Amino acid sequence: MEKTVMMMTTTTTTKVGSEEKIRPRIIVHGGAGNVTRANLPRASYEAYKRALLSVLAEAQALLGRPEATALEVAVHAVARLEDDALFNCGKGAVFTRAGTNELEASVMVSRGSRRRGVGCTLLKHVKNPVKLAREMLVRGERDDGGGCAHAQLSGRELERLAAEWGLEMVGQDYFFTQRRWDEHVRGLERERGKAEDGRGAVAAETAAAAGPATNGERVRDGDPSWDGHEYLPQGTVGAVVLDRFGTVCAATSTGGLTNKLPGRIGDTPTLGAGFWAEEWMEPSRRADQAAGCRPSSSSSPLDLLSRGDVVGLLGACLPSLSTGPPHVAQKSPRDKDDIRHAVGLSGTGNGDSFLRVNAARTAAAMTRFAPSVSLAQAVDAVAGPGGELEKSAGDRFGKTGEGEGGMIGIELVGSHGRVVQNHNCGGMFRAWVDDDGRHRFMVFKGEEEY
């Protein structure tokens, strides 16, 4: 198995022909949403801080080993969070409307010969879903991968494979925590109360007992279990890691939305929505200019892309049409001036909104196809205040939980890795190692401490 893992993280130089060393980087998150100083007691803040910084320290120590890969470190970090009932994943997963737990997880690496990313969903008995996602990814690289040529699997068959592969299986009672159960009950009671106010006791009983038959009405009215005051976990946990070989890995795990309908599949196991990783070779700046890829003087590629001006974007980034002989600016992918560019992203928040805008891949595509746009700028445009996630909720933003979320990521350009992050909601639990090697933790914006 280790041999297969290393196939996906084979050491290659980031600038072809150079021997520049890459400094490993890591960032982790523990969810995002309508968290405020008013609904996050100091004791809870300190508990999140201790948990995330502990996981960060462990992962950073692993990352310092010469043989450490981004895949192994990211999976280790997320598995540790899955074992902590504080977070909405694994042991601390929220309950569905029916009072059950349905877990999801995913991993993706920026390079791989066959399978770069996989998602697992509708899991009820796998203790650590992220370890199952890793197993799917690694086995998918093999000729005899046991049917793992698929990028996404769910339910009973996947759990059968998990048991066959030796992953730890547990009963549903393992995932029970009183805290999550109380959130589940309060959400249903709040929904029942709103139904009684608007439609009478009979309608209330119907809404509380029914599943899919009332879902359309719930969506139109907003989610009655979301009151904007109590912090209800909407998101995931995740880790993005860059190793010394230049590979970026994003690993993500979640219990989903509080009181989601059974069978609901969110953004966490969906490639491009809640997670993404990729790499590509870029020509040098001189080659870019020779090909005519330069920003418009009036609008940047990011401005054009965010407004949906595809024609303008193509005009800014592609050579202008002419009647003369075409200028061929093709370069060999092994040209010594080519620069390796890699990104990895993990999202957290309202998963249906992430699905609606294909959030993670949208941010990565902004960086890849508009070369003057950094990943930090792209994350701002998607997950920051006023970004695509917020826009997707329209006038429902701030009222229903729609559009809320955040992203963490890492961008590698040449040999330089940069940690990025942003969110559009009350807060996002995150921890990372900064450029000076300090271990940092934040929930809110602008202030590091509570």
Q: Residue 104's beta-bridge partner residues?
A: 254
DSSP class per residue in 208-275? HH-SGGGHHHHHHH--TT--SSS------EEEEEE-TTS-EEEEEEE--STTPPTT---STTSBTTTE
Give kind and range of the element (H or E) at residue 51. helix 42-63
Residue 248, exposed/middle/buried by CB under 10 A (0-12, 13-18, 19+)? buried
Helix, strand, or coil (residue 13): coil
Binding site listing for substrate: 264-267, 348-351
Residue 335, exposed/middle/buried by CB under 10 A (0-12, 13-18, 19+)? middle
Token duo for residue 167: 């992953």
Sign, CA dihedral 272-381-420-37, equals: negative
236 is catalytic: yes
Phi, psi (degrees; rounded to nearest 5) at 75:
-65, -40
Q: Residue 433's beta-bridge partner residues?
A: 439
Binding site listing: 264-267, 348-351
- What's at 166, amino acid-wise? G
Give kind and range of the element (H or E) at residue 178. helix 178-209
**Residue of 69, 96, 121, 236 with catalytic role:** 236
Distance CA 365, CA 350 (A): 21
Count other C-beta atoms under 10 Å from residue 298's C-beta.
Answer: 9
Angle 149-150-152 from CA coordinates, rounded to 5°: 155
Rounded (10°) angle between helices 70-82 and 129-140: 160
Distance CA 105, CA 99 (A): 20
Helix, strand, or coil (residue 30): strand
Distance CA 324, CA 303 (A): 31
Q: Any idea which residues carry the catalytic annotation?
A: 236
